[in-house]
Copies of this chain bind each other. A is one copy, B any other.
Amino acid sequence: MTGNSKHQDKTASVELVERRLGRQNSKLCLYLDWIRNQAGVEVREYFTVTSCDHRERDAIHPLSTPTGVGILPIREGQVGLIRTFRHPIRDWVWEVPRGFADENEDIRTAATRELLEETGLECAPDDMVELGFHHPEAGILRARIAIYAATRCALKAEPETGEIGLGDLAWIPFDTALAMADQSEIQDPTTCIALYRLLRIGHIDARKDKRA
């Protein structure tokens, strides 16, 4: 989904002049980027946060593969959401199960793995309905999230505990979840976009009471 030339403003294009590693933890790298556009406007320490799996050389190319996954499980007209405490905002949010894709991991495999780890739900990769992708905050994060709806999953295991902040899975009627998204009671964009796109494609499993 790289841009087409028709709508590109050449003066807006941005060159990476120099990159320095600012900080690194076990999952993420912060780069301090010196960038400049063709009008000569520059920023010397632009924050770019990226998975450390992505090599520095990648940064001059468009992000072509997903870096993470979000999966909306669906069962009998209900969707599964996790009540999660997110430290940066110091608050509880409703989220689809989600996580990072491992380096070189097939993205559907990543989606089934994350779903199983966080919820205990096992689902065939072929039962994942594609709901496109999004970039959570392309002004800071080198991240693209692939979004799926997961149908026909079976509870196979206890969720792996330990991921910090992660709470329990709750099953919520699809129309209730939609209303929660409309009212900003769901604030996570992956979750909102999953619900709205599922509504737009009219997936039958999402609305049990409207089945033929």
Q: Give the interface of A toward B (CB within 8 A).
A: 1-3, 7-9, 12-14, 16, 22-23, 25-26, 28, 30, 32-33, 35-37, 39, 41-43, 45-50, 59-63, 83-93, 132-144, 161-168, 170, 178, 181-185, 187-190, 192-193, 196-197, 200-201
Contacts and interface: CB of A to CB of B under 8 A. Distances in A.
A144 B174 CA distance: 25
A46 B43 CA distance: 26
Query: How many copies of this chain sit in the oligomeric assembly?
Result: 2
B92 A33 contact: no
Given A85-B13, A137-B137, A90 B144 contact: no
Contacts of A135: 86, 89, 93, 187-189
A37 B134 contact: no
B83 A7 contact: yes
A189 B192 contact: yes
Contact of A8 (B9, B42, B90, B92): B92
